[in-house]
Each structure stands twice: as structure tokens, then as C-alpha cells.
Structure 1
Amino acid sequence: MAGFRLAGSYAGQGQQFLLDHAAEHGNWILFTPDASLARTDLGVLLREQRVGEARLTRPLFVKEAWLESDYRRDRLPLEGVTD
């Protein structure tokens, strides 16, 4: 994934990069309820954050086992929200 800035890119560009990269390498993408994308094999969850008028990417790195767990599979928690 070298050559693409995961943090601070425009949200649409970041999402398209992850989709293209996953398709090229035969990997899975997880779509979360808050419209984030995750590469479960890498433990990368790509969130977006408003910065002024722009929506920029903000990666969150987690353990692969956490993304793949049955409990979290369909509903990854949002930061700041507790179960």
C-alpha cells in the first residue's frame, strides 16, 4: 500500500484506493454501518473526518482478529461509543 497517503487524503480517493487495492490483490473489504471501509486482512479501518469544508481520511489500525470476530463482524463500534 506504499505510495498512498491513508491519513489526510480526500475521503472518496481513500475509499477508491482501498477498493482497487483489494480487487487487485483478491482481498475482502468490510463496509461498516457508518460508511467506513476496512481491509480486514491488514487491520486497517479507513474513517473520514471533516476538516473545514473537506472530508479527509483518518485510518484506524486494529488487530485482524478484532475485525474478523463474529461479535464485531456486522457492527464495528464507533470511537467514543461504548457497548
Structure 2
Amino acid sequence: MSFIDVKNKNGTADKNPPAGYKSWLDFWESKKGKKATTCEVLTCSGEPDVGGHVIKSGEGSKEYILPICYSCNNKPDDSVFKAWENDLEPVK
């Protein structure tokens, strides 16, 4: 397993999860087959409040969902943080 640099994706607050999912966090948990238990930002131990939209730093605009706390979800868009790459769930 390796960790990578990610950052919040700008302008996703009004995006709804795909049909059949209650929330983006529900989407992530369903796709991964496990319950989110903590914020997936490596330096944080907060509750996973939301399925945050993130992008890999320096890799364009492909979106991923990552369980993160409200505080990490509200970091500036240019703020880079570390997460485990296998915890990212691509948004189709």
C-alpha cells in the first residue's frame, strides 16, 4: 500500500451521488464493502463526516471519493494532504 498527495476538488457541493446511494459516504462504503471509521486524511483522526471529492495532486481533474471529516473537507482547494491510494474510490 502506498499513500499519495490529494487535494479537495473545487465546486462539488451541489453534486448528488449516483442513483441508489443516500450520500457520497454511502457510495464509498458500498463500493469498498466496508464502513468508514475515521477520516482518511493520514494526519487526522476525526470522524468520517462526508464522502469528500478529491483529486490526485498534479494529476488533472479525475475525481475520487474519500471519507473525510468536515474540517478536512473544508481545507482550501490548494491544500495538499496525504491519503492511502487504495482508499480512493473513482467517481464514474
Task: Calculate the TM-score normalised by the size of structure 1.
Answer: 0.28
**Where is the helix percentage greater, Structure 1 or Structure 2?**
1
Task: Calculate the TM-score normalised by the size of structure 2.
Answer: 0.26
**Rg (Cα) greater in structure:** 1
Q: Which structure ranks higher in relative contact order (CA pairs < 8 Å, sequence separation ≥ 6)? A: 2
